[in-house]
Amino acid sequence: MISIWLIFQLAAVFGLGVPIILTIWSWKRQDKSILKLMNIYWRVSSLFFISIFLLIGKRELAFITSLLSVLLMVSSTWFWVDINEELNEFPTWKPIAITTRIWRYTLLLFGIIFSIKSFYTIDCFIGNFNDTCLEWFDPPQNIFFIFKNIFKFLFGANFTALIATYIGYLALFLYLIGIIQWLFIKFPKNGRYALLSKNNDF
């Protein structure tokens, strides 16, 4: 069975590292379709980072939001009709197009692995923490120590798990407002079209 540490390492590479590279790369080359895809991806994937804060606070809600975040991250890279059409029209030899295609399939594989791993945390969803649940809290603690040092350096105060939880819940509330707005206002209007000519819109 794949370890929790490896899951988070894969998330760091394919959920953070590669998207950063693709975002900078597409911005420099002004590849509108890939840049639009990455703009959408970052907005959707913010739920995963919110889940990290909730995991730091050891909240059972984090197990639900982390799973949903990965499913949304994968879906957001395949959902848009006009972006898919643009990517299919790219020459097969174009490096940024090849990288984007490989990344989408790799992210899909990661999503499947993450979902299977999350299946073993069903009890964690309702607060029945066992050894498997506790394993999920370990990797975010490293991130917590980084935030703690940065927070202390910038503000001269301690960054606690309670503060992380508060930030997580506040960010989740704002995220839900954005999702609801998209579902009831933009999705009925635009459907599965990302509207490539409007880079500032979700």
In a domain, 64, yes or no: yes
Q: What is the pLDDT of residue 96?
A: 92
In a domain, 202, yes or no: no
Q: What is the pLDDT of residue 198?
A: 55
* Domain of 17, in residue numbers: 4-190
Q: What is the pLDDT of residue 69?
A: 96
Q: What does DSSP assign to residue 119?
A: G
CA distance 70 to 110: 9
In a domain, 196, yes or no: no
Q: Which range, of 26-30, 152-156, 183-187, averages the lowest pLDDT?
A: 152-156
Q: Which range, of 27-31, 117-121, 144-148, 159-163, averages the lowest pLDDT?
A: 144-148
Most confident of 79-83, 96-100, 103-107, 150-154: 103-107
Q: What angle do CA 23, 171, 71 make, to 5 degrees?
A: 60
Q: What is the pLDDT of residue 155?
A: 66
In a domain, 201, yes or no: no
Q: Give the predicted TM-score (pTM) of the model.
A: 0.89
Q: What is the pLDDT of residue 200?
A: 47
Please give the tally of structural domains in the chain: 1
In a domain, 36, yes or no: yes
Higher pLDDT, 146 or 79: 79
In a domain, 119, yes or no: yes
In a domain, 197, yes or no: no
Q: What is the DSSP secondary-structure string of 168-197? A: HHHHHHHHHHHHHHIIIIIHHHHTT---TT
CA distance 43 to 179: 10
The position carrying tokens 């639900």 is: 64
Q: What is the pLDDT of residue 101?
A: 93
In a domain, 51, yes or no: yes
pLDDT of 49 > 70? The answer is yes
pLDDT of 196 > 70? The answer is no
